[in-house]
Amino acid sequence: MATIYDVAKAAGVSPKTVSRVLNDDAPVGRTTREAVQDAISRLGYVPSNAARVMRSNRSGLIGLITGAISNTPEAGDPKGLPELYIVQGVQEIFAEEAKTLMISDTGGRSDRVPALVSTFRQHRVEGLIYVADYHRQTRFEVRPGGPPVVLANCYDTIGTPSVLPDDRSCQRSLVARLIEAGHRRIGYLTLGNYMDATGLRIEGYRDAHADAGLSVDPDLILEAYREDHTPMTSALNRLLELPEPPSVICCGNDEMAMRLYGLLRTRGVEVPEEISVAGFDNYRAIAETLFPPLTTVELPYRELGRRAARRLLGIIAKDPPGTDDPVRIPGPVVWRSSVTAR
């Protein structure tokens, strides 16, 4: 493997001159520069990144820990594909900044995270992003003296910078649109109550009713997510048996909405003529292919990834924070024909 001394000898210059050409940190004559570049090309010389890191304390490397590669969502999985989309948003920003993103997958094992962090530190990454599979609290360990960390789609109890989807705002916007369309009895089949997002979305549901001066009927809000789907069947039965059934039913995610279409049709209930349906996530493989296409709200996962990357870049550059934690990213309502006006 060629060294800087081989390049200097081939170009007839000193190693210091080769270093100046490589780092562009001092003036070098055009003829000399061309001779050095020609020698580099002929010898196939590759500069030592380790040496550059020691000189500048900047490796240009960013570490990212995720489970997006190994985690393949199953049907009914409440997580959809957030990790993959978040990683894409992160990559987009670091590519623009000429940073190299090093991705390590947990393989679904949280106990591997400390070892991955240690490996990244050995490679002198400038910062780390940890991407969770769904909105939740995490115990990611941030060590003193280590690279700065930003959490994406998760948060901790010690104030590590974090970026989260604004579940409350998203649900509030969706229900507000349903109310604008004339719906007053709005059913809500939620994800599991153990999920942070569920509580926040119920708050958003209540916010939209309060904004419109409407009371909330607690009988319209039912937990309905389980892998065997039986809670959805019983929850739907309870909604339809109410003295005044809902005119629209919101679901905790688009997969649940897809199942709801089938359950309603087995009962002879037409969507949206008799009951409208709304989802959550804007999982387009479902929302755009259902008939009728599904009204839903988009969780902006790519934007979440972009914002996490920008936050980390700001921390690395020692910019003023300019924001409180966590940063919450809202998403738009995507109106399709599964909801009809009343």
Given pLDDT bands bounded at 50, 70 and 90, which one contains residue 312?
A: very high
- Supply 98's token pair: 């000429």
168 vs 208: CA distance, rounded Å:
10
For the chain, residues classed under CATH 1.10.260.40 are 4-47
- Of 6, 56, 54, 46, nearest to 22 by C-alpha is 46
Q: CA nearest 188: which of 297, 312, 60?
A: 297
Predicted confidence at residue 328, as pLDDT, reads 95
Most confident of 59-73, 78-92, 108-122, 328-342: 328-342
Mean residue pLDDT of the chain comes to 88
Cα 290 to Cα 180, 230, 248: the distances in Å are 24, 22, 17
**Which tokens is 56 given?**
């500048």
**% pLDDT > 90, the chain:** 58
Place of tokens 């109410």: 242
Most confident of the following: 43-57, 101-115, 283-297 = 283-297
pLDDT at site 201: 97
Residue 194: which of 223, 174, 165, 169 has the closest Cα? 223
Q: Three-class SS of residue 80? A: coil
Residue 328 φ/ψ, nearest 5 degrees: -115, 130
pLDDT of residue 294: 98
Amino acid at 330: P
Cα gap 85→15, rounded to integer Å: 45
What confidence tens digit (pLDDT) does each residue in 197-219 have? 999 999 999 999 999 999 999 99
Query: Which overall architecture, per CATH, does domain 167-299 show?
Result: 3-Layer(aba) Sandwich (3.40)
Contacts for 216-219 with beta carbons within 8 Å, 24 or more apart? 217/185
* Nearest in space to 64 (alpha carbons), one of 84, 50, 80, 48: 84
* pLDDT range class, residue 70, cuts 50, 70, 90: low
Q: Tokens 């010690």 label which residue?
A: 158
The total of other beta-carbon atoms located within 10 Å of residue 148's CB is 19
pLDDT, greater one: 93 or 111: 93
- The lowest-confidence range among 81-90, 262-271, 308-317 is 81-90
Rounded alpha-carbon distances, angstroms, from residue 190 to 196, 197, 221, 250: 12, 10, 7, 8
Give the β-pairing of 296-297 and 333-334.
antiparallel
Give the predicted TM-score (pTM) of the model. 0.80
Q: pLDDT at residue 230 above 90?
A: no
Tokens encoding 11: 């170009």
Write out the H or E segment, with its range, that includes residue 39.
helix 30-43
Tokens of 102: 């090093």
pLDDT at 81: 65
Between 25 and 237, name the one with better pLDDT: 237
- pLDDT band at residue 54, thresholds of 50, 70 and 90? very low
Size of the chain, expressed as the number of residues it contains: 342
Q: CATH 3.40.50.2300 region(s) of the chain?
A: 61-164+301-329, 167-299
Lowest mean pLDDT among 28-37, 65-74, 186-195, 259-268: 65-74
**Six-digit token string for 231:** 């809670």
| Mean pLDDT for the stretch of residues 49-61 | 59
Superfamily of the domain at 4-47: lambda repressor-like DNA-binding domains (1.10.260.40)
205-214 long-range contacts (CB < 8 A, ≥24 apart) are 205/171, 205/172, 205/175, 205/250, 207/168, 207/172, 208/171, 208/172, 208/173, 208/174, 208/175, 208/176, 208/179, 209/175, 209/179, 211/172, 211/176, 212/176, 212/179, 214/179, 214/184
- pLDDT attached to residue 76: 43
- Compute the distance between CA of residue 275 and CA of residue 316 in angstroms, rounded to an integer: 51
Quick one: what percent of the chain has pLDDT higher than 70? 89
At 179 the pLDDT is: 98
CATH class of 61-164+301-329: alpha beta
* Residues with Cβ within 8 Å of residue 161, at least 6 apart in sequence: 148, 149, 150, 151, 311, 312, 315, 321, 325, 326, 327
Mean pLDDT of 38-42: 89
**Would you place residue 52 in the very low, low, confident or very high pLDDT band (cuts 50, 70, 90)?**
low
Q: Cα Rg for the chain, rounded, in angstroms?
A: 27
Taking the C-alpha atoms of residue 209 and residue 216, their distance in angstroms, rounded to an integer, is: 7
pLDDT band at 110; cut points 50, 70, 90? confident
- Determine contact, residues 87/66, Cβ cutoff 8 Å: yes
